[in-house]
Structure 1
Amino acid sequence: MSYITAKEAAERWGISLRYVQRLLLEQRIPGARKYQRSWLVPADADKPEDLRKREKLGAPRTVYLPYRTPVPLMTQLYAVPGRMDLIAEKQQPNNELAALCGCQLSYFRGEIETAQKKAGALYADASCLDAKLGALFVLSSCAVYSGAVRQWNKLEAALAGMRAASAQDQSYIAFCRAGIWSKLWDTTHFPDWLRGGCFDPLPGESYPLARFYYLKFLLLTKIRETPKSDFTAAAEPLISQTKLEGIVISEAYLRLLAAIAYHSDGNDKAALVHIERALALLLPDRLYMPLAECSRALDFLLLRALRTVDRTAYECVVSLNKRMMEGWTLLHNAVLQRNATNVWTVREREIVKLAVRGLTNKQIAERLRISVNTVKQRLGVAMEKVNVKKRKDLARFF
């Protein structure tokens, strides 16, 4: 298929470039795609219907943000580590986009109370679907951090009440629901197309976030499979593509998921490569929450790496992770009727995870480079803490 530029399309159709750009943002030119920061239009595309005529007659029009994703900071909007503070300021002509970037920045920095207030105000005042969904994303993350069951239920009710103006909006809302529920490690809300790694139903700006949730779905559904070669085979090219596009937070999240998979398979050397790159992306702007979210799944590995490069960041991530896992456990158990526990130490949890996957005490000792007696002792203490007699019964506490 041959393509022309947005400017060439405007000249061919006899309309302004600004209006063509609006058509592209609203996904109203079939087959159009974004390459880096420019749009490409199919050379044989027909001129879309002029909705401005409808507007003059008073017909309602759905308004979208310039970046159609619930997390605009996970797009090329933020492409250079260390320059996050400039992002919201540059979006001031679009107040809702600026407000959404502001509350997301507060969350990524672990300023939960501030993020909660900003997102609540944005949701109440927002006039468009994108801003409301973005605010719900931040509020759901704050609910996980705080273990706020009532707030979570209200958010789910608000999400269920969202009205779609098009088939794409319907897919977009379903995608947001899947992402929000995956914060509790629940994959039941993932639509079939996202489970299969297809992002076509979504606006192009949502692809970097969709990569993250697709890989998260794969990781959660294959968490006890060893080795995770299918997951890493999918992850590595998506990481490379995201790196090429310069999408900082998305790349960091994808690398942390890859690190979890490698660590789970006992390949800590490969895991550390991704951890170190994620730290280089996140620390310049003090974006600590992605690290806090993934810290438990990486046992000691992430915190040891972090402590060597930034002691202040290490202390912040430890504190954020402790509070967040308390909230997550409370919310996860209440909403999903599960029995996840927060009573084990890092070492106990590390040993229990391997035991649940079927490793013997000797294999666990070799993997963790500790004695068999230490494995037996720590495993016994962990079982006593949750009052079980058999190793297989430990699985229900994750």
Structure 2
Amino acid sequence: MPLLNTPFQPGQCRAAIAAMPQGPRRDIAVAEYCYFSGQAEKAVRKAELYLTHPDWDARLSACLIYAYANLTLGQIHQTRVALTELQTTLTRVVTNGNQGAAAAFVGAAAAVLLHLPLPEQMPPAGEFLPQLPPGLRAFALYVQAHYLYLKEDYARSAGMVEGALIMGAKVYPISAIYLHLVAVMDYMSLKQTQLAKEHLLEAWRLARPDDLIEGFGEHHGLLGGMLEAVIKPGWPRDFERIIRITYRFSSGWRKIHNPDTGDTVADNLSTTEFAIAMLAARGWTNQEIAEHLRLSPNTVKRYISNAMTALNIKRRQDLKGFMLR
């Protein structure tokens, strides 16, 4: 993933790609940019050319991009093909030094971001993280922090993010964006809304100059209504684009996640209903949700009631069974 591993100033992403020598590294960087800027169709076309390339790094990168871009497009068969190729490649090269570290990184990213179990061949993070170059290491730390979040170890996850940013991850904007977003998830779970807001705004500051908007759509359901509270009032058109990405990505994500895990993450709620139901499932009161989203408590109550009706449940505590982990 050469673009993940490239430091650049916000607004200089495309210039950084143009400065790369022509060849697989630059082509993969273009595919990365297409994906992270919400251009899934272009990302698929660019990545597809390298799915069976003899260069392992190019192949691993292409498979990861191809899997997630097709997920966004609802092309689940193609996503599964790419995930199978990733698994095969992981088995072949996971013990081979730097190639093994790259394979382990990609395997962890593919599994954790889909909220699926880690591959059986996955080495401990402490073994492969030090072998990664700095930019990939920063994104791998995001994956580890996301994993801790899924385990509900929010304080440890947030500490990992803060440490990664202090130690230099912030110079790799794409990795830094994702680190900030998982910090938002952690701090919202801990009800530390001011810290969550600060991390979201920093992610937005890094992303907006290069239109690196994909991550916000991917994480919408986990951000605890923070996009509605912060981005929607200030950047309504960008918010609309994020929501379009959210609907596309979430639909594809559920088609992989729900069958493979047996979970029943809701797919029949609006993004606002889902965001409010997520907060309610985390133990937020109607008053707390109302203050956070600048709504009336009665409006919050109505959204929760609509969500429960759509999910055919009668108890508020049952919402958790239909929300993202």
Q: What's the TM-score, normalizing by structure 1?
A: 0.72
Please give the residue correspondences for 1:221-232 in structure 2 after superposition, counting only pairs within 5 Å. Answer: 221-222=151-152, 228-232=154-158
CA contact (8 A) 2:146 2:157 kept: no
Distance 2:42 2:85 in 1: 21
| 2:50 aligned partner | 122
The CA deviation at 1:82 is: 0.8
Deviation per CA, 1:52-73, whole angstroms, max 9, x where unpaired?
A: xxxxxxxxxxxxxxxxxxx221
The CA deviation at 1:221 is: 1.2
CA RMSD of superposed structures (Å): 2.6
The CA deviation at 1:368 is: 3.1
Distance 1:111 1:347, change over 3 A: closer
Distance 1:180 1:134 in 2: 11
| 2:106 aligned partner | 176
AA in 2 matched with 1:211? L
By relative contact order (CA 8 Å, sep 6+), the higher-ranking structure is: 2
Say which SS state the counterpart of residue 74 (structure 1) adopts.
coil
| 2:192 aligned partner | 267
Q: What's the TM-score, normalizing by structure 2?
A: 0.86
Distance 1:197 1:377, change over 3 A: farther
Distance 2:44 2:304 in 1: 39
Distance 1:229 1:377 in 2: 32
The CA deviation at 1:141 is: 1.0
Say which SS state the counterpart of residue 77 (structure 2) adopts.
helix
The CA deviation at 1:139 is: 0.7
1:80 aligned onto 2:2: no
| 1:147 aligned partner | 74
1:284 aligned onto 2:209: yes
| 1:364 aligned partner | 286
Gaps of 5+ in 2: none
If each structure's helix is expressed as a fraction of its own residues, which one has the higher value?
Answer: 2
The CA deviation at 1:203 is: 5.0
**Aligned residue pair count:** 316
CA contact (8 A) 1:215 1:257 kept: yes
| 2:124 aligned partner | 193
Say which SS state the counterpart of residue 80 (structure 1) adopts.
coil
| 2:321 aligned partner | 396
Distance 1:374 1:311, change over 3 A: closer
AA in 2 matched with 1:84? C
Distance 1:207 1:171 in 2: 10
Distance 1:280 1:205 in 2: 19
Distance 2:241 2:298 in 1: 34
Distance 1:302 1:197, change over 3 A: farther
Deviation per CA, 1:135-182, whole angstroms, max 9, x where unpaired?
A: 011111113212332112211221232232724433432321110122
The CA deviation at 1:84 is: 1.5
Say which SS state the counterpart of residue 123 (structure 1) adopts.
coil
Say which SS state the counterpart of residue 309 (structure 2) adopts.
helix
1:235 aligned onto 2:164: no
1:338 aligned onto 2:263: yes
1:156 aligned onto 2:156: no
1:218 aligned onto 2:148: yes
CA contact (8 A) 1:87 1:101 kept: no
| 1:101 aligned partner | 29
CA contact (8 A) 1:242 1:251 kept: no
Distance 1:242 1:293, change over 3 A: farther
Distance 1:311 1:379, change over 3 A: closer
The CA deviation at 1:235 is: 1.9
Distance 1:287 1:384, change over 3 A: same
Distance 1:149 1:381, change over 3 A: same
Between 264-273 and 297-306, report the one with greater CA deviation. Answer: 297-306
1:329 aligned onto 2:254: yes
Distance 1:127 1:247 in 2: 27
Say which SS state the counterpart of residue 60 (structure 2) adopts.
helix
Gaps of 5+ in 1: 1-70
Distance 2:169 2:139 in 1: 13
Identity %: 23
